[in-house]
Structure 1
């Protein structure tokens, strides 16, 4: 099995970091755009898509800054992360998504993230 590679995507967002962080770090916020249904208990998130459930642990987070998840079925060194940054030039809020995929799948995974983030931006009115 080939080792997955990390990739990073950036999206400009027109909303405050506090509002954006709610959509990235709470079950109700993530359910708005990321999965069909999301539940959270003891820092373990259950994401449901079309009846299939995947669980992810919150590895680390900092209010209004970032949250990192680890899929329970994935190797320990793999994660996906949402980070909120400010552009020094424009002072615009930037959503940075980090994830892992096989090299041949990075393009498809990037398109999937872009589709989901587009839904997020629509939900927050950005």
Structure 2
């Protein structure tokens, strides 16, 4: 079954490309807002959510694109339909700040759920990092 592409955008309170890149281009940055634990080893990305002693989910992905100060793209290893997650940083010409644009894919009926997840991730980013 073909998945539906969604794009979620969020304007950040930062004009520093270095800070924004650290949040999307490194495992320690992604861990602040994407998952409870993130490791990036070469092109292998591992994300874990939840408590290891209770509900715990681990997903592995392969990073296909890392463009410094631009974007990161990965595909979950358990997905074979060509879907991916891409986080792109773009400078806003009006404010001088940065916007994150996330592209993701979802099954029919899960669009609202996935958009809520990304909205929650952005809120977590704002709370933890102030951006």
**Which consecutive residues of structure 1, in runs of 5 or more, have no partner in the other structure?**
none
Cα RMSD of the aligned pairs, angstroms, is 1.3
TM-score norm. by structure 1 comes to 0.91
Q: How does 1:1-126 map to 2 (within 5 A)?
A: 2-15=1-14, 16-50=16-50, 51-126=56-131
**In structure 2, distance between residues paired with 1:30 and 1:99:** 16
In structure 2, C-alpha distance between the alignment counterparts of 1:71 and 1:116, rounded to whole Å: 18
Equivalent pair of 1:17/1:65 in contact (CA under 8 Å): no
When normalised by structure 2's length, the TM-score is 0.88
CA distance in 2, matches of 1:17, 1:57: 24
How far did residue 80 of structure 1 move? Answer: 0.3
